[in-house]
Chain A
Amino acid sequence: MQPIKSIKDIPELDLFTGGSSVCAGCGPSMGLKLALKVLGPKTVIINSAGCMTLLPLFPNTPLKVSWIHNAIENAATTAAGARHGLDALGFKDMNVVVYAGDGATYDIGFASLSSTAIKNERVIYICYNNQSYGNTGFQCTTATPYGSETKTTPRGKENPIGNTNIHKDMLKLMGVHRVYCATASLAYPVDFLNKLNKAKERNGFSYIELLGTCATGWNFDPRYTIKISRLAVRCGMWPLYEIDDRKLSLNKEFKQLKPVDEYLQLQGRYKQLPPDGVTKLQSLVNEHWAQLNEFNAKRYV
């Protein structure tokens, strides 16, 4: 497959039509629309319960590809079953693609994901990471960043920080499964789609994590979805990198990261994060960025 060099090369093919019931500025739905451009019509999406579950609402669907929604914690193993079934029936050319949120991926579905990855099932797993249980109204997951307020980590007298946990390093965890894994951002569609193309050509499992920029939960003006997706990368909050055969490659390198404050200021979820919280968050970002740079082009896991 030819690499996509610029947005002009992105296929015009559109398998995600209008009429979905997602929020204005919804990042995850934009991600799926983009992804389907390279995945193509011979695709079955396996969805876990979450925001995207509301894309098809009987008897309508905005999708021109097949879709299976099972439960929340089992998208990966449902996909494994679909893969085995399709192979047995002779449809080896179908792409089996999971589109699951971070709650379903980092938390409740982690066992299912881990077993599917370690067996290297021919499945592309895309986690749309909106850093929360979004569909239930923005509660904390183990993907929620330090300092983010959520409905289950509200700021208050006894805890001015909001979420005090440091989020799970999912790429590293998936990396030790020795599968292809990568991060992606809506602001860098060429990078995202090339990673998907890479995953498509693998004869095994791939894990791609897309920042699921969420205007409703993160509380920002919906017109800023792409701006925030770009700032997340520029500030080091969402570095773009991949782990292939346990080797790390940074896909967007910057001599100097922008301060995280620039990213935080645009979002209601970080409003009123006290200065020491911002400092701690900045130090976490710096530490991760330094680690990525240290291991760039080297064995990482």
Chain B
Amino acid sequence: MSFPGLINYWAVAALMMIGFYAVIAHGNLVKKVIGLNIFQAAMFIFYISMAKVRGGTAPILDDDLSVFSNPLPHVLILTAIVVGVATTALGLSLIVRIRDAYGSVEDEEIRAIEAASD
């Protein structure tokens, strides 16, 4: 197996774990959303990597070109990116409203406020 080999997939696994760790470990809600974005980006790279055909060109119809990358995953990921943008926007707008309601975007502080008001 020559150099790049499976390096993309290693990167995917690494990014996925970094993102997932950020979602779980960080108490700051904005950082959770950032973690979620990294996690999703890993999934995007995963799809794009699998579409690559060694020696293939961009998927353009032309008589000279016979080997090209699979365009379908690209299209799927365009859709997934749109979904990701929508999720991020919604997550951030919820954070804005949480900040208005609690005056904080830290998970622990919100819990403390909640526990105090019960």
Partners in one complex: no
